[in-house]
């Protein structure tokens, strides 16, 4: 996987965090750079660590299913991307909360990074450097979360649905790309 592909994957994965950050930016009172950094860092740590957890789980059975790995990656990313799109299209009300409360931020970090664990399993099949991947995913998530917080502060949560849809589409396209690469270029 090239660095460019990894960055695109990281952007797709962090769209849930970006969407949560948009909403949190509207709710964060008081809004300070320190509080925003704390919130974004928690999301980034979870998003960066969960692929490592998935990768560690996947290493144990990589050799058994290597000839089917591209189909597994496609299936996982189709599922995750589709789920993100479906969730974005639902009209669920957001609860009011203090996003900077450590427990709340950690819960959101975990919830938005579950998809990253599944992606970590698929990364096992691609023989990528998981540490590099985790760092790129974590940094990308931090940047997008900070941007989401500041955008949310300025314009509210109108972009939430669109951000999740874009993230879902990106994950699906990455799954298709992986499958095409393995079928035609491997």
Give the pLDDT score at 186: 60
Give the pLDDT score at 59: 73
* Alpha-carbon gap, residue 67 to 152, rounded angstroms: 44
3-state secondary structure the chain: CCHHHHHHHHHHHCHHHHHHHHHHHHHCCCCCHHHHHHHHHHHHHHHHHHHHHHHHHHHCCCCCCHHHHHHHHHHHHHHHHHHHHHHHHCCCCCCCCCCCCHHHHHHHHHHHHHHHHHHHHHHHHCCCCHHHHHHHHHHHHHHHHHHHHHHHHHHCCCCHHHHHHHHHHHHHHHHHHHHHHHHHCC
pLDDT tens string, the chain, 186 residues long: the values are 788 989 999 998 898 889 888 878 877 888 899 999 999 999 999 999 999 998 888 777 666 666 776 787 788 778 877 877 887 787 655 444 567 888 888 888 888 887 788 788 888 878 789 999 999 999 999 999 999 999 988 876 565 567 667 767 877 887 788 788 778 876
CA angle (116, 71, 55) in 5-degree steps: 35
* Alpha-carbon gap, residue 20 to 42, rounded angstroms: 12
Burial (Cβ within 10 Å: 0-12, 13-18, ≥19) of residue 96: exposed
* Whether the Cβ atoms of residue 21 and residue 145 lie closer than 8 Å to each other: yes
């Amino acid at each position: 996987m090239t660095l460019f592909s990894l960055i695109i994957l990281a952007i797709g994965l962090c769209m849930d965090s970006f969407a949560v950050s948009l909403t949190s930016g509207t709710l964060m009172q008081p809004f300070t750079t320190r509080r925003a950094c704390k919130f974004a860092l928690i999301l980034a740590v979870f998003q960066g660590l969960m692929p490592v957890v998935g990768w560690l789980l996947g290493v144990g059975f990589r050799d058994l299913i290597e000839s089917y790995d591209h189909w597994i990656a496609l299936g996982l990313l189709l599922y995750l991307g589709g789920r993100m799109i479906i969730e974005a299209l639902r009209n669920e009300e957001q609860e009011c909360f203090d996003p900077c409360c450590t427990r709340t931020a950690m819960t959101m970090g975990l919830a938005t990074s579950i998809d990253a664990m599944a992606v970590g399993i698929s990364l096992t099949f691609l023989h990528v450097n998981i540490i590099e991947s985790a760092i790129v995913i974590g940094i990308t998530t931090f940047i997008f979360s900070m941007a989401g917080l500041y955008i949310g502060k300025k314009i509210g949560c109108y972009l939430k649905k669109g951000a999740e849809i874009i993230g879902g589409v990106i994950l699906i396209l990455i799954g298709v790309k992986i499958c095409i690469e393995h079928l035609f270029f491997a």
